Amino acid sequence: MARRRKEADACPELRISERPGTSPQGGEEDELPGNPYEIRYPGIVALADEKGTVIELIEFFDCIGGAMWSRHHYVGSPLVRSARSVGASVRYLLRPGTAYLDLQGSSFPAGICGAEIGDNEIAISYIGLGGGGVGASAGRSYAGGVIRHQTDPSGGGRKAGATIWLPRMQRVLIGVDDTDTPDQGASWTLAHNIARAVEDETARYLSHTIVQLFPVPYRTKNCVSIVCEFASANPGRLVARFHHLLRKYTLSDETGMAAFTGFDPSPLLPFAWMVKKGEVRRDLLPEIEGGHLELIMEGRGIIGAVAAIPFYTRFEEALSLWTGQS
């Protein structure tokens, strides 16, 4: 015990109990903040394509058990085309419309029953039984990012739901490459820190993906580029702020920065795979339809910056190193 007290003196945050098994004094006065039977999602974001035919609903969660339960059951709705987990979020790809859900306890207790795209807003409707109704109503109605909501009382075995309205956002993907030197810097850290700095009420930082490129002779060391994904209501302002900070803090004269605004950057994949498989000339940079690609900083790193964009959240493919075999 004397040794443990000495360790505690060296680390003031370490608290040693004289009698193992005893609880701290005053523990009986501990209380839970708010409603102990509610868990609110920290944030919900909705993106739509330009034609209004598809929605990506991104729910950032605090309780992974509840989020995985929802993902498991929500795919039973005919409005849900797919669901996947990305970090501390679940992403649902939705088709607009409404659906009657024949809810059944245990087998299909909750789901998404409505999705509507407006000019500036996206409305999502949820319904659930019992605890699924709590998540479908209060859990999402009071999430960050919700503009307004209509919510049923929930709890116990009741059926309950809600409709929430979210800002209609656009996907913005910013590719970055070649910001460091042989002695200083790291592109992946700089890109992440800039992405955090430009996040505000009109731009939500969604993901960061490191993309392994073909190891060209003039690489710094690992030859990777970065793509940062955002949901934005003002893409032009977001890109300008990111550009300002990248130009300010880059250590290289060959920095590349490219920005794609649009729902689906997959038309860039053929070019991106070329860059992963070998050295590529700058004159092969693509022009694409179905989105807007802008070359912002056109140093030598622009090739890797563009190549990173379509690999956003495709982590296994992004990190794979080409070995010469298909």
Give the model's pLDDT for residue 216.
Answer: 66
- Distance between CA atoms of 71 and 63, rounded to whole angstroms? 13
Other CB atoms within a 10 A radius of the CB of residue 4 amount to: 12
Single-letter code of the amino acid located at 216: V
**Pairing mode of beta strands 159-177, 43-48:** parallel
How many whole angstroms separate alpha carbon 82 and alpha carbon 102? 19
User: pTM for the whole thing?
Assistant: 0.89
- Sorted by where each starts, the structural domains of the chain and their CATH numbers stand as 43-168 (no CATH), 178-319 (3.30.70.2200)
CA–CA separation, 318 vs 312, rounded Å? 8
CA distance 106 to 317: 36
Note down pLDDT in tens along the chain; length 326 residues: 455 444 444 444 434 444 545 555 555 689 999 999 999 999 999 999 999 999 999 999 999 999 999 999 999 999 999 999 999 999 999 999 999 999 999 999 999 999 999 999 999 999 999 999 999 999 999 999 999 999 999 999 999 999 999 999 999 999 999 998 878 889 999 999 999 999 999 999 999 999 999 886 665 566 899 999 999 999 999 999 999 999 999 999 999 999 999 999 999 999 999 999 988 888 888 877 666 999 999 999 999 999 999 999 999 999 999 877 65
Hey, what are 181's tokens? 């030197």
Alpha-carbon gap, residue 246 to 141, rounded angstroms? 37
Pairing of strands 55-60, 203-212: unpaired
